[in-house]
Amino acid sequence: MDYSFLKHRLRDAAVHKRAGLGADFAQYAARDVMRLADSLPLPENPVISAYWALKTELDLRPLMTAFYNKGVPVCLPVVVGKRESLLFRLWSPQAELVKGLYGTEQPDEKYETVEPNVLFLPLLAFDRQGGRLGYGGGFYDRTVHELRVKNPEVIVVGTGFSAQEIDEVPVEDTDEKMDWILTESELIKVK
């Protein structure tokens, strides 16, 4: 079954819904997410991948800074091509970011490329079965698949606002499921 039209409509609705959340709410949510993330079981030597928030995405900078201050390596994704998997470059609060494809902020090539084993992914919508609706480029699905082939213990955490939950995300064969979902109100373990 082709879910393209359904996913397109769900994306439009999700973007509209997320845009309706106030800036004050988003600021409090970022702090609550940081607190709830403390309960997330991490591997022995975590390398955290986060994202630099675009528009009304949940801002993970406080969480990134908290991990960095604990001595945990933090990296950001780098889009290198339309059909390629993401690269990940180390980040620090002092890192200089450059504009990437699609308006993303990312470290330039002077920062070391690393391989994360914990990925915090942005989302437009999610369900409690681990379904994630992203922007449709497939970057995270391709990348997560490759990372899981190399290391089946990779942890994938979808991050967003609780208001982004829907009953069911249409999932195709190429869609990678999340292991956890982190919102301002709860940390959800996917069964």
Q: What is the pLDDT of residues 36-46, one digit of tens each?
A: 999 999 999 99
User: What confidence tens digit (pLDDT) does each residue in 117-143 have?
Assistant: 999 999 999 999 999 998 878 899 999
User: Could you tell me if 140 and 121 are in contact, meaning their C-beta atoms sit under 8 angstroms apart?
Assistant: yes
User: Could you tell me if 143 and 116 are in contact, meaning their C-beta atoms sit under 8 angstroms apart?
Assistant: no
Check pLDDT > 90 for residue 56.
no
Instruction: From residue 19, give the alpha-carbon distance in Å to each of 61, 67, 121, 178.
Output: 19, 27, 18, 23
Average pLDDT of the chain? Answer: 92
Check pLDDT > 60 for residue 153.
yes
User: Could you tell me if 52 and 97 are in contact, meaning their C-beta atoms sit under 8 angstroms apart?
Assistant: yes
CATH of the domain at 172: 3.40.50.10420
Phi, psi dihedrals of residue 120, rounded to the nearest 5°: -95, 115
The whole-number pLDDT of residue 14 equals: 82
Instruction: From residue 180, give the alpha-carbon distance in Å to each of 6, 22, 128.
Output: 24, 25, 9
Query: In terms of residue numbers, what domain contains 91?
Result: 4-189
Phi, psi dihedrals of residue 111, rounded to the nearest 5°: -95, 140
> Shortest CA distance to 116 belongs to which of 67, 155, 142?
155
Confidence of residue 1 (pLDDT cuts 50, 70, 90): low
Q: How many CB atoms lie within 10 A of CB 123?
A: 25
Check pLDDT > 80 for residue 4.
no
For 30, the enclosing helix (H) or strand (E) is helix 23-37
The whole-number pLDDT of residue 88 equals: 98
Q: Which residues of the chain form beta strands (DSSP E)?
A: 48-49, 74-78, 87-91, 97-99, 105-107, 118-122, 125-126, 132-133, 155-159, 180-182, 187-189
> Shortest CA distance to 188 belongs to which of 164, 152, 153?
164
The whole-number pLDDT of residue 91 equals: 98
The whole-number pLDDT of residue 111 equals: 96
Is the model's pTM score more than 0.85?
yes
Check pLDDT > 80 for residue 2.
no
Instruction: From residue 173, give the alpha-carbon distance in Å to each of 43, 58, 177.
Output: 27, 27, 10
User: What confidence tens digit (pLDDT) does each residue in 5-43 have?
Assistant: 778 788 888 887 887 887 788 888 988 999 999 999 999
The two three-digit tokens of residue 190, written as one number: 């996917």
Query: For the chain, what is the domain count?
Result: 1
Confidence of residue 107 (pLDDT cuts 50, 70, 90): very high
User: What confidence tens digit (pLDDT) does each residue in 65-91 have?
Assistant: 999 999 999 999 999 888 899 999 999
The two three-digit tokens of residue 19, written as one number: 């845009």
